[in-house]
Amino acid sequence: MNSVFLKQPKPLKALILGYFLLALVILMLIANPDQLPQVITLAFFGLLIISYSVSLEIRKDYKNKKHFQLFGITIFKYGFNIPFPEYISIFSATQKTDNEWGPVSAMGTTSKEQNYLIRIFYGKLHFTLFRTKNISLLKTKAKELSTLLEVELIDKTH
């Protein structure tokens, strides 16, 4: 194994916007099929929003890459530098998010979301590499990463 891929989660708001645009395309085709250029443009942006993803590739030689993908195919990649970790930690975290759009924004509410994180530590600094709701996926990726980089894995998910 020469690298570990960590696919970053897509924000829920991006998925909602993408599917909304595709629903709008269908309504526009039904209401007025003569608007083909506008329909194609909206369909393109809707598919782009739904199909994009970002993955981090952590390599054994630590020449890490960030991949921008469409439909799971890498369109372009570029290097990103983070210091080599002293250890890797996995744990659960509750994330609060302000509901800053839509009708609930006026009420000033927040939503809570339970996630599991892989974070690398070096000195007093840290970097979050991966976030998921699936604890078995988290543990698998963390073990792969720990084995690849030959650093200690601290499991705080119990």
Q: Which residues are CB-contacts of 82 (< 8 A; sequence separation ≥ 6)? A: 64, 120, 127
Tell me which DSSP letter residue 71 carries: T
pLDDT at 95: 73
pLDDT at 12: 86
Q: How far apart are CA 119 and CA 153, in angstroms?
A: 10
pLDDT at 102: 57
Among 47, 48, 59, 49, CA closest to 13? 49
Sequence spans of domains, the chain: 1-81, 82-158
pLDDT category at 107 given cuts 50, 70, 90 is: low
pLDDT at 101 > cutoff 90: no
pLDDT at 24: 93
Query: Do 75 and 24 form a contact (C-beta atoms < 8 A)?
Result: no
The predicted-structure confidence for 25-63, as pLDDT tens digits, reads as follows 999 998 888 888 889 999 999 999 999 999 999 999 999
Question: Average pLDDT of 142-153?
Answer: 94
pLDDT at 157 > cutoff 60: yes
66's tokens: 């960030």
Q: How far apart are CA 85 and CA 88, in angstroms?
A: 7
| Mean pLDDT value across the chain | 88
pLDDT at 58: 94
Query: Do 10 and 67 form a contact (C-beta atoms < 8 A)?
Result: no
pLDDT at 104 > cutoff 60: no
pLDDT at 67 > cutoff 70: yes
Pairing outcome for strands 3-7 and 52-59: antiparallel
pLDDT at 76 > cutoff 70: yes
Q: How far apart are CA 22 and CA 153, in angstroms?
A: 43
Judge if pTM exceeds 0.85: no
2's tokens: 């020469």
pLDDT at 109 > cutoff 70: no
Query: Do 88 and 139 form a contact (C-beta atoms < 8 A)?
Result: no
